[in-house]
Amino acid sequence: MPNVFGESFLDLIGFVLLLPLAGAVVNGLCGKRLNTSVVGYIGCATIGLAFLISVLVFIDLLRLSPEHRLFEKEFFTWIGSGTFTAIAGLQVDPLSTVMILVVTGVGFLIHVYSIGYMHGDEGYYRYFTYLNLFTFSMLLLVLANNFLLMFIGWEGVGLCSYLLIGYWFEKKSASSAGKKAFIVNRVGDFGFILAILLIFVTFNTVDFTEVFHSTPEHLTTGSVVATAITLLLFLGATGKSAQIPLYTWLPDAMEGPTPVSALIHAATMVTAGVYMVVRCNVLFVMSPFSLTVVAVIGGATALFAATIGLVQNDIKRVLAYSTVSQIGYMFLACGVGGFITAVFHLMTHAFFKALLFLGSGSVIHALGGEQDMRKMGGLRKKLPTTYKTFLIGTLAIAGIPPFAGFFSKDEILLEAYTKGNLIFWGLGAFAALLTAFYMFRLLFMTFHGKSRMDKDVEAHVHESPRNMLIPLIVLALLSAVGGFLGLPAASAINSFLAPVVGGGGHIGGVDGGQAHHVSQNLMFSMMGLSTGIAVVGIALAYLMYIKKPELPTQIAGMFKLIYKILLNKYYVDEIYDATIVNPTIKSSFFLWRWIDVKVIDGFVNGVARLVELNSEALRLFQTGFVRNYALSMLFGGIVIIICALFLL
């Protein structure tokens, strides 16, 4: 569709990818020699431009009629082998558009924030290189038009996540956290790649459009293949999106710089699993069993992570568990068939969780690197802007109307109730209560009450520079009003995303016109109920951390065992260590000490020794006298002539 410039902005989609990549290349190759501010500008400008193009693409897409909102741009045939072809192409549809807007928009703000946060760091250019590379990979992930290209982006974000978690690699904990994230993700990626292979075997193509259009021909509802494909895909999603049982890497990933936590481990990368499930909703719909698994895992994770979050003292770790919990919500929504709601929550979550992470980064920055909430308190006066924005973020995540989190979370609970059952709703509702509680615990411990800071730290507390505060304010605005996109009455996001899940059949249909199916009464009573739940959580937190600060210790003393289990995160890390990690290490030691050193090396060394012995003997022929060699040559020549004489 031509516009004022004569051609469609959709054609510019390649630049959305190209710009961050160019930024990464320039910063990566010349960053060391460039001025640090130039490095920062390059990093931000590329993402900013990519965001502008994304907006233009979005506008152009809006001008199309809903059924035609699918634009594919194919660049070249990437792999062609027999019947297998993978085309390097991009796909613009409502879902990927929402994702690129979130990735570039939130990404841009976080880049700007990083300029201030990372100021004076030695590896400044390295940081921006990784960050740009991450943005590129993430955009590739969401824009790819086939599974294989998506997998490249998928691995790319994994790599960048590893690099950025271990960004301060001289710190042992950071580098091992990076490794942990990488290895745990491998498990999920293994599932994903198996799913891709299975899809190719079943559909004979990996192209999204072709796969989804031919799904009814190749798969029957509830068939084993459909279940296998979707469960393997979901295994990939649990790895990337930190769900049970592969969530353990995310809390450790907080070793990375805080903006990285905000961008990768809250707003974008960890939601890639949700994106992938939503993208493949057509496949998931074919397998009710898989959907149930998704919902159960999602709900369980939401609750599980929330309980751990109750007792953590590290400000970033609380947020990490909250992220795990919120992504659990998204999967819960997916599992009951509310794919659009999941994307809606993904978007609002990106806003308020990025805001919370950046806010906590601002606090950490102000306190000179202190992350323990027990050594904070009373920061409200000293960091007024940070406090205000953080409060908005906390209200949003707790689900207080009219902030963003309220609408999306309420919708998830509604979906869980109407399409799922009471158990799913109960899981979600209880997790919501806990969320409200631990988030306000975080807020109260950090900003309210008496200061528990060290004296010399307290003296240096200062509000962050402007380039860190502006992203906070923008994100706070988005967190405040972002929810209205999904207002049941208007439901802009529902109708926008409907074509993406519409192809799937019945559930998509229900989703698109959901407002009509649910009675107004139920809707409003649900809203009231979830608001009530949130208020109860907040009140509890207020009671325990403002009114009677001695209460938490008393309660912890009463439920010693539970408290200890929660504080140690259910000992999951220890269980994994005992059941998987240590046996692996031990068997590796066995393989190393016996198989490798003794058998393989022994064989290789034995061969070498044999050659050496023979050479010792043969060496005697090498007298070092040229004339001896010449004699041998002559002898050989004569022999050849004699042979020729007799043979010819």
Partner 1 sequence: MTIPLTWYLILSGSLFTIGAVGVLVRRNALVILMSIELMLNAVNLAFVTFSRQHESMDGQIFVFFIMTVAAAEAAVGLAIVVALFKNKSTINVDDINIMKW
Partner 2 sequence: MLESLLFVVMGTIMIVCAGGVVFQKNPIYSAIFLIQTMVSLAVLYVLLHAQFIAVVQVMVYAGAVMVLFVFVIMLLNIDKIEEEMGKDRLVYQKVTAIFFGLLLFAVIGIVTLKSVLQGTKGEYTPEKISEIGNTQLVGKLLFTDYIFPFEIASILLFAATIGALILAKKGLKE
Chain residues binding partner 1 by CB under 8 A are 619, 622-627, 630-631, 634
Q: State residue 52 phi and psi, 5-degree precision.
A: -60, -45
Q: Does 645 participate in binding partner 2 (rule CB under 8 A)? A: yes
76 or 621: CB nearest partner 1: 621
Residue among 240, 246, 331 at smallest CA distance from 291: 331
224 or 640: CB nearest partner 2: 640
Q: From CA 91, how far away is CA 76, in angstroms rounded? A: 14
Give least dist CB 630 to partner 2, A: 9
Q: Which of 80, 222, 602, 637 binds partner 2 (CB under 8 A)?
A: 637
329 vs 215, 227, 332, 443, CA distance in Å? 27, 22, 5, 22
5 or 646: CB nearest partner 2: 646
595 or 634: CB nearest partner 1: 634
Q: Which does 77 bind (CB under 5 to 8 A by kind): partner 2, partner 1, none?
A: none
Q: What is the largest CA-CA distance in the chain?
A: 114
Q: Which does 642 bind (CB under 5 to 8 A by kind): partner 2, partner 1, none?
A: partner 2
520 or 622: CB nearest partner 1: 622
Residues 597-636, one symbol each (x = binds partner 2 by CB under 8 A, - = not), give ----------------------------x-xx--x--xx-
**SS3 of residue 221 by DSSP:** coil
521 or 622: CB nearest partner 1: 622
Q: How many CB atoms lie within 10 A of CB 204?
A: 13
Q: Which does 619 bind (CB under 5 to 8 A by kind): partner 2, partner 1, none?
A: partner 1
Q: From CA 192, how far away is CA 188, in angstroms rounded? A: 6
278, two tokens: 């939503």
514, two tokens: 């959901």
Give least dist CB 623 to partner 1, A: 8
Give least dist CB 635 to partner 1, A: 10
Q: Which of 4, 459, 561, 648 binds partner 2 (CB under 8 A)?
A: 648
* Cβ within 8 Å of residue 206, ≥6 positions away: 86, 146, 147, 148, 196, 199, 200
6 or 624: CB nearest partner 2: 624
Q: Which does 621 bind (CB under 5 to 8 A by kind): partner 1, partner 2, none?
A: none
56, two tokens: 């233009």
Give least dist CB 636 to partner 1, A: 12
Give least dist CB 638 to partner 2, A: 6
**SS3 of residue 250 by DSSP:** helix
**Binding-residue total with partner 2 (CB under 8 A):** 12
459 or 648: CB nearest partner 2: 648
Give least dist CB 192 to partner 2, A: 59
248 vs 240, 321, 387, 572, CA distance in Å? 11, 10, 30, 8
Q: State residue 93 phi and psi, 5-degree precision.
A: -140, 175
Give least dist CB 618 to partner 2, A: 20
* Cβ within 8 Å of residue 78, ≥6 positions away: 86, 87, 88, 148, 149
Q: What is the DSSP string of 106-142?
A: HHHHHHHHHHHHTTT-TTHHHHHHHHHHHHHHHHHHH
Q: What share of the chain is helix, strand, coil (3-state, %, to 5)?
A: 80, 5, 20
Q: Which does 617 bind (CB under 5 to 8 A by kind): partner 1, partner 2, none?
A: none
Give least dist CB 75 to partner 2, A: 46
Q: From CA 138, how far away is CA 132, in angstroms rounded? A: 10
Q: State residue 313 phi and psi, 5-degree precision.
A: -110, -15
Q: Do the beta carbons of residue 316 and residue 297 sit within 8 Å?
A: no
Q: Does 582 participate in binding partner 2 (rule CB under 8 A)? A: no
* Cβ within 8 Å of residue 56, ≥6 positions away: 9, 12
421 or 623: CB nearest partner 1: 623
Give least dist CB 617 to partner 1, A: 14
582 or 628: CB nearest partner 2: 628
610 or 638: CB nearest partner 1: 638
Q: Which does 172 bind (CB under 5 to 8 A by kind): partner 2, partner 1, none?
A: none
Q: Which does 2 bind (CB under 5 to 8 A by kind): partner 2, partner 1, none?
A: none
Give least dist CB 630 to partner 1, A: 5
Q: How many CB atoms lie within 10 A of CB 263?
A: 32
Give least dist CB 613 to partner 1, A: 16
Q: Which residues bind partner 2 (CB under 8 A)?
A: 625, 627-628, 631, 634-635, 637-638, 641-642, 645, 648
